[in-house]
Protein backbone atom coordinates (compact mmCIF):
# COMPACT_ATOMS: atom_id res chain seq x y z
CA UNK A 1 0.00 0.00 0.00
CA UNK A 2 1.18 3.54 -0.78
CA UNK A 3 -0.19 7.01 -0.10
CA UNK A 4 -2.33 7.01 -3.26
CA UNK A 5 -3.94 3.73 -2.26
CA UNK A 6 -4.52 4.97 1.29
CA UNK A 7 -6.21 8.17 0.11
CA UNK A 8 -8.28 6.39 -2.54
CA UNK A 9 -9.63 3.77 -0.14
CA UNK A 10 -10.28 6.43 2.52
CA UNK A 11 -12.28 8.64 0.15
CA UNK A 12 -14.31 5.65 -1.04
CA UNK A 13 -14.93 4.61 2.57
CA UNK A 14 -15.90 8.09 3.71
CA UNK A 15 -18.38 8.60 0.89
CA UNK A 16 -19.99 5.16 1.05
CA UNK A 17 -19.94 4.30 4.78
CA UNK A 18 -23.35 5.79 5.50
CA UNK A 19 -24.91 5.20 2.10
CA UNK A 20 -26.78 1.91 1.59
CA UNK A 21 -24.31 0.80 -1.09
CA UNK A 22 -21.72 -1.08 1.04
CA UNK A 23 -18.47 0.67 1.85
CA UNK A 24 -16.81 -2.71 2.47
CA UNK A 25 -17.88 -3.94 -0.94
CA UNK A 26 -16.63 -0.79 -2.67
CA UNK A 27 -13.27 -0.98 -0.90
CA UNK A 28 -12.90 -4.65 -1.81
CA UNK A 29 -13.63 -3.92 -5.45
CA UNK A 30 -11.25 -0.92 -5.43
CA UNK A 31 -8.54 -3.09 -3.90
CA UNK A 32 -9.01 -5.65 -6.66
CA UNK A 33 -8.97 -2.93 -9.35
CA UNK A 34 -5.77 -1.32 -8.03
CA UNK A 35 -4.21 -4.70 -7.21
CA UNK A 36 -3.82 -3.82 -3.54
CA UNK A 37 -2.66 -6.91 -1.73
CA UNK A 38 -5.21 -8.12 0.82
CA UNK A 39 -2.66 -8.75 3.53
CA UNK A 40 -3.15 -8.30 7.28
CA UNK A 41 -2.26 -4.60 7.15
CA UNK A 42 -4.74 -3.79 4.36
CA UNK A 43 -7.51 -5.52 6.31
CA UNK A 44 -6.55 -3.55 9.43
CA UNK A 45 -6.44 -0.31 7.43
CA UNK A 46 -9.94 -0.86 6.06
CA UNK A 47 -11.34 -1.43 9.55
CA UNK A 48 -9.57 1.54 11.15
CA UNK A 49 -10.60 4.04 8.46
CA UNK A 50 -14.19 2.89 8.87
CA UNK A 51 -13.94 3.97 12.50
CA UNK A 52 -12.45 7.27 11.31
CA UNK A 53 -15.51 7.76 9.13
CA UNK A 54 -17.82 6.77 11.99
CA UNK A 55 -16.35 9.48 14.23
CA UNK A 56 -18.07 12.03 12.02
CA UNK A 57 -21.34 10.85 13.60
CA UNK A 58 -20.04 11.78 17.05
CA UNK A 59 -19.19 15.27 15.80
CA UNK A 60 -22.50 15.85 14.02
CA UNK A 61 -24.61 14.36 16.81
CA UNK A 62 -22.40 15.31 19.75
CA UNK A 63 -25.32 16.49 21.88
CA UNK A 64 -26.81 13.02 21.66
CA UNK A 65 -23.60 11.24 22.58
CA UNK A 66 -22.84 13.34 25.65
CA UNK A 67 -26.37 13.48 27.03
CA UNK A 68 -25.70 11.46 30.19
CA UNK A 69 -29.22 12.24 31.42
CA UNK A 70 -30.43 9.68 28.88
CA UNK A 71 -28.80 6.37 29.94
CA UNK A 72 -31.35 4.39 27.93
CA UNK A 73 -29.68 5.66 24.74
CA UNK A 74 -26.40 4.00 25.72
CA UNK A 75 -28.23 0.87 26.86
CA UNK A 76 -29.86 0.56 23.44
CA UNK A 77 -26.53 0.84 21.65
CA UNK A 78 -24.98 -1.75 23.97
CA UNK A 79 -27.83 -4.20 23.40
CA UNK A 80 -27.76 -3.59 19.66
CA UNK A 81 -24.05 -4.33 19.16
CA UNK A 82 -24.12 -7.68 20.98
CA UNK A 83 -25.24 -9.77 17.95
CA UNK A 84 -22.44 -8.30 15.79
CA UNK A 85 -19.79 -8.91 18.44
CA UNK A 86 -20.82 -12.53 18.89
CA UNK A 87 -21.33 -13.42 15.23
CA UNK A 88 -18.33 -11.39 14.08
CA UNK A 89 -16.09 -13.28 16.49
CA UNK A 90 -17.46 -16.68 15.53
CA UNK A 91 -17.29 -16.10 11.78
CA UNK A 92 -14.02 -14.15 11.54
CA UNK A 93 -12.32 -16.66 9.22
CA UNK A 94 -15.38 -16.95 6.99
CA UNK A 95 -15.73 -13.16 6.74
CA UNK A 96 -12.07 -12.67 5.79
CA UNK A 97 -12.43 -15.30 3.08
CA UNK A 98 -15.57 -13.79 1.58
CA UNK A 99 -14.02 -10.31 1.53
CA UNK A 100 -11.39 -11.69 -0.84
CA UNK A 101 -14.07 -12.85 -3.30
CA UNK A 102 -15.13 -9.89 -5.49
CA UNK A 103 -17.66 -12.02 -7.42
CA UNK A 104 -19.57 -12.87 -4.24
CA UNK A 105 -19.61 -9.20 -3.25
CA UNK A 106 -20.81 -8.19 -6.73
CA UNK A 107 -23.77 -10.57 -6.53
CA UNK A 108 -24.66 -9.27 -3.07
CA UNK A 109 -24.48 -5.69 -4.38
CA UNK A 110 -26.89 -6.66 -7.17
CA UNK A 111 -29.29 -8.53 -4.89
CA UNK A 112 -29.26 -5.76 -2.29
CA UNK A 113 -30.02 -3.25 -5.01
CA UNK A 114 -33.14 -5.13 -6.04
CA UNK A 115 -34.33 -5.06 -2.41
CA UNK A 116 -33.73 -1.31 -2.11
CA UNK A 117 -35.72 -0.56 -5.27
CA UNK A 118 -38.84 -1.91 -3.56
CA UNK A 119 -38.02 -1.04 0.08
CA UNK A 120 -39.96 2.24 0.16
CA UNK A 121 -43.16 0.50 -0.96
CA UNK A 122 -42.75 -2.27 1.59
CA UNK A 123 -42.49 -0.01 4.63
CA UNK A 124 -45.04 2.77 4.27
CA UNK A 125 -46.58 2.42 7.74
CA UNK A 126 -43.57 3.58 9.77
CA UNK A 127 -44.64 5.87 12.60
CA UNK A 128 -41.86 5.91 15.23
CA UNK A 129 -40.15 9.28 14.87
CA UNK A 130 -38.26 9.66 18.16
CA UNK A 131 -35.28 7.69 19.47
CA UNK A 132 -36.91 7.62 22.93
CA UNK A 133 -39.63 5.38 21.47
CA UNK A 134 -37.15 2.72 20.34
CA UNK A 135 -37.42 -0.07 22.91
CA UNK A 136 -34.55 -2.29 24.00
CA UNK A 137 -36.18 -5.15 22.10
CA UNK A 138 -36.32 -3.12 18.89
CA UNK A 139 -32.69 -2.02 19.38
CA UNK A 140 -31.63 -5.66 19.74
CA UNK A 141 -33.56 -6.67 16.62
CA UNK A 142 -31.95 -3.86 14.61
CA UNK A 143 -28.61 -5.22 15.83
CA UNK A 144 -29.63 -8.62 14.46
CA UNK A 145 -30.24 -7.04 11.06
CA UNK A 146 -26.72 -5.63 11.24
CA UNK A 147 -25.43 -9.21 11.42
CA UNK A 148 -26.72 -9.77 7.87
CA UNK A 149 -24.13 -7.29 6.62
CA UNK A 150 -21.43 -9.27 8.42
CA UNK A 151 -22.52 -12.57 6.90
CA UNK A 152 -23.01 -11.07 3.43
CA UNK A 153 -20.25 -8.50 2.75
CA UNK A 154 -21.53 -6.13 0.10
CA UNK A 155 -25.03 -5.99 1.58
CA UNK A 156 -24.22 -2.75 3.48
CA UNK A 157 -24.39 -2.36 7.22
CA UNK A 158 -26.35 0.86 6.90
CA UNK A 159 -28.83 -0.65 4.43
CA UNK A 160 -29.43 -3.67 6.66
CA UNK A 161 -29.95 -1.65 9.83
CA UNK A 162 -32.04 1.07 8.18
CA UNK A 163 -34.35 -1.45 6.52
CA UNK A 164 -34.47 -3.39 9.79
CA UNK A 165 -35.48 -0.22 11.59
CA UNK A 166 -38.17 0.56 9.03
CA UNK A 167 -39.53 -2.97 9.33
CA UNK A 168 -39.85 -2.25 13.05
CA UNK A 169 -41.90 0.88 12.24
CA UNK A 170 -39.14 3.52 12.49
CA UNK A 171 -39.39 6.32 9.93
CA UNK A 172 -36.69 6.45 7.24
CA UNK A 173 -34.87 9.37 8.85
CA UNK A 174 -34.95 7.91 12.38
CA UNK A 175 -33.86 4.49 11.10
CA UNK A 176 -30.93 6.16 9.33
CA UNK A 177 -29.94 8.14 12.42
CA UNK A 178 -30.08 5.08 14.68
CA UNK A 179 -28.00 3.21 12.11
CA UNK A 180 -25.41 6.00 12.38
CA UNK A 181 -25.46 5.82 16.19
CA UNK A 182 -25.10 2.03 16.16
CA UNK A 183 -22.09 2.25 13.86
CA UNK A 184 -20.03 4.04 16.54
CA UNK A 185 -19.75 1.24 19.16
CA UNK A 186 -19.75 -1.41 16.44
CA UNK A 187 -16.74 -0.01 14.63
CA UNK A 188 -15.01 0.98 17.88
CA UNK A 189 -15.14 -2.66 18.96
CA UNK A 190 -13.95 -3.87 15.55
CA UNK A 191 -11.09 -1.35 15.47
CA UNK A 192 -9.85 -2.15 18.98
CA UNK A 193 -10.00 -5.89 18.22
CA UNK A 194 -8.15 -5.48 14.90
CA UNK A 195 -5.42 -3.27 16.41
CA UNK A 196 -4.96 -5.68 19.30
CA UNK A 197 -4.65 -8.67 16.96
CA UNK A 198 -2.03 -6.91 14.83
CA UNK A 199 -0.12 -5.64 17.88
CA UNK A 200 -0.09 -9.15 19.29
CA UNK A 201 0.76 -11.08 16.11
CA UNK A 202 2.58 -8.62 13.79
CA UNK A 203 3.60 -5.51 15.77
CA UNK A 204 6.04 -4.42 13.05
CA UNK A 205 3.05 -3.36 10.96
CA UNK A 206 2.35 -0.62 13.50
CA UNK A 207 5.63 1.14 12.82
CA UNK A 208 5.93 4.77 11.73
CA UNK A 209 4.79 4.15 8.13
CA UNK A 210 1.94 1.92 9.18
CA UNK A 211 0.61 4.40 11.72
CA UNK A 212 1.00 7.26 9.23
CA UNK A 213 -1.22 5.54 6.67
CA UNK A 214 -3.81 4.81 9.36
CA UNK A 215 -3.90 8.47 10.42
CA UNK A 216 -4.04 9.77 6.84
CA UNK A 217 -6.78 7.32 5.92
CA UNK A 218 -8.85 7.95 9.04
CA UNK A 219 -8.65 11.73 8.67
CA UNK A 220 -9.61 11.60 5.00
CA UNK A 221 -12.52 9.21 5.64
CA UNK A 222 -13.71 11.44 8.50
CA UNK A 223 -13.89 14.55 6.30
CA UNK A 224 -15.58 12.71 3.43
CA UNK A 225 -18.17 11.25 5.80
CA UNK A 226 -19.10 14.64 7.25
CA UNK A 227 -20.23 15.63 3.76
CA UNK A 228 -21.83 12.28 2.91
CA UNK A 229 -24.03 12.11 6.03
CA UNK A 230 -25.67 15.48 5.41
CA UNK A 231 -26.25 14.59 1.76
CA UNK A 232 -27.68 11.17 2.60
CA UNK A 233 -30.23 12.30 5.18
CA UNK A 234 -31.57 15.03 2.89
CA UNK A 235 -31.63 12.77 -0.17
CA UNK A 236 -33.31 9.95 1.77
CA UNK A 237 -36.10 12.21 3.01
CA UNK A 238 -36.83 13.45 -0.50
CA UNK A 239 -36.18 10.40 -2.65
CA UNK A 240 -36.06 7.24 -0.55
CA UNK A 241 -33.97 4.21 -1.48
CA UNK A 242 -34.91 3.69 -5.13
CA UNK A 243 -31.92 5.46 -6.71
CA UNK A 244 -29.46 3.76 -4.38
CA UNK A 245 -31.00 0.46 -5.45
CA UNK A 246 -30.63 1.31 -9.13
CA UNK A 247 -27.01 2.34 -8.55
CA UNK A 248 -26.28 -0.97 -6.83
CA UNK A 249 -27.92 -2.98 -9.62
CA UNK A 250 -25.85 -1.18 -12.27
CA UNK A 251 -22.57 -1.49 -10.33
CA UNK A 252 -23.20 -5.10 -9.36
CA UNK A 253 -24.11 -6.11 -12.91
CA UNK A 254 -21.08 -4.38 -14.44
CA UNK A 255 -18.76 -5.95 -11.89
CA UNK A 256 -20.16 -9.43 -12.51
CA UNK A 257 -19.55 -9.05 -16.24
CA UNK A 258 -16.02 -7.69 -15.72
CA UNK A 259 -15.11 -10.45 -13.27
CA UNK A 260 -16.57 -13.31 -15.34
CA UNK A 261 -14.82 -12.02 -18.48
CA UNK A 262 -11.51 -11.78 -16.65
CA UNK A 263 -11.20 -8.01 -16.97
CA UNK A 264 -11.22 -7.48 -13.22
* Long-range own/partner contacts, residues 185-191 (CB < 8 A, 24 or more apart): 185/77, 185/78, 185/81, 186/81, 186/84, 186/146, 186/157, 187/47, 187/50, 187/51, 187/54, 188/51, 188/54, 189/81, 189/84, 189/85, 190/47, 190/50, 190/51, 190/88, 191/47, 191/48, 191/50, 191/51
pLDDT digits (tens, 9 = 90+) for 225-247: 998 888 888 888 788 888 999 99
Helix (H) or strand (E) holding 66: none
pLDDT digits (tens, 9 = 90+) for 145-184: 999 988 888 888 888 999 999 999 998 889 988 998 998 8
Dihedral sign for Cα 254, 255, 260, 261, please: positive
Q: Tell me the pLDDT of the chain (264 aa) as tens digits.
A: 789 999 999 999 999 888 888 888 888 888 888 888 878 888 889 889 988 898 998 888 888 888 888 899 999 999 999 998 888 778 777 777 777 788 888 899 999 999 999 888 887 777 888 888 999 999 999 999 999 988 888 888 888 999 999 999 998 889 988 998 998 888 888 888 888 888 888 888 888 888 999 999 999 999 999 988 888 888 887 888 889 999 999 999 998 998 898 876
Q: Give phi and psi for 170, each to the nearest 5.
A: -80, 145
CA atoms of 258 and 113, how far apart (whole Å): 18
CA atoms of 149 and 152, how far apart (whole Å): 5
Question: What is the pLDDT at residue 12?
Answer: 93
**Contact in structure between 223 and 14 (CB atoms under 8 Å):** yes
**Contact in structure between 42 and 96 (CB atoms under 8 Å):** no
Nearest to 74 by CA among 129, 148, 134, 147: 134
Q: Where are the extended beta strands (E) located within the chain?
A: none
DSSP at 170: B
Question: What is the pLDDT at residue 210?
Answer: 87
Amino acid sequence: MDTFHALTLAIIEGITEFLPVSSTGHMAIASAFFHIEQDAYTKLFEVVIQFGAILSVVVLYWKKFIDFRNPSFYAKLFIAILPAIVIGGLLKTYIQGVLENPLFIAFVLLGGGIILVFADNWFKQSHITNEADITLKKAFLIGCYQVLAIIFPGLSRSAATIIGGMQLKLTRSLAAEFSFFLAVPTMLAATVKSLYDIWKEQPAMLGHEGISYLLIGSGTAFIASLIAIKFFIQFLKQNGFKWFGIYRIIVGSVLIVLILTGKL
